[in-house]
Amino acid sequence: MYKRFYTDATDSDSKYPNTKTNRTSPSLLSTHSSMSSSIVSEYEAANEQYAAAFNKGDLALPPSRHVAVIACMDARLDPAQVLGIELGSAHVIRNAGGRAADALRSVIISQQLLGTREIVIVHHTDCGMLTFSDLDLKTKVRKDLGEDVDHIAFLPFGDLEQSVRDDIAFLKKSPLVLDVPITGYIYDVKSGKINKVDA
């Protein structure tokens, strides 16, 4: 049912040794460290340029448009660019899949302490959450890390549009979320367009 995005997590192993102390070879660690250092240096240099031209230091803490956007963490999706969100105007809450249940803590804080009164949900095409099952990932983590993660719901889905509807329904039914307008979209990573999902 699921297209494999990860390496097969269900290979038949009768035991799952705890490999936490031997996850990565020294050579790979060295390569990763070098790459990470290079990336961090780029980010620091970019921030120097950003800070030199920065003139938004007087923005208020609450978002000016009183909206919270829940979106996937996918690197191809930039909610600010996609939706034209200006700095200081909205809370952008991101997680794997843009799932509402995972964002609940942030939504409560956003509404109760910072006054947001509208929610926008953005999922997207070609999402990695379509490529595995909850059992797949739990088995993989157990095999690779020797840790039991049965207490974590990874919240994958098999139907993209339904995932948006499910998240809207979750928020509307939650006693911890205010009765506010909630709109859901699917972002097309190929065209850059958003399509509204009828709840």
Handedness of CA 124, 125, 128, 130 (dihedral sign): positive
Name residue 120's amino acid: V
Residue 123 annotated as binding site: no
Separation between Cα atoms, residue 72 and residue 36, nearest integer Å: 23
Q: How many CB atoms lie within 10 A of CB 173?
A: 8
Question: Cβ distance 106 to 92 under 8 Å?
Answer: no
E runs forming strands in the chain: 67-72, 90-95, 119-124, 182-187, 194-197
Kindly report the backbone phi and psi dihedral angles of residue 65, in degrees, each rounded to the nearest multiple of 5, phi listed first.
-95, 0
Q: How many CB atoms lie within 10 A of CB 91?
A: 22
Residue 66 annotated as binding site: no
Residue 102 annotated as binding site: no
Residue 74 annotated as binding site: yes
H helix count then E strand count, the chain:
5, 5
> In the β-sheet with 90-95, what is the strand arrangement from edge to edge?
90-95, 67-72, 119-124, 182-187, 194-197
Q: Which residues are annotated as a binding site?
A: 72, 74, 124, 127
Binding residues for Zn(2+), by number, are 72, 74, 124, 127
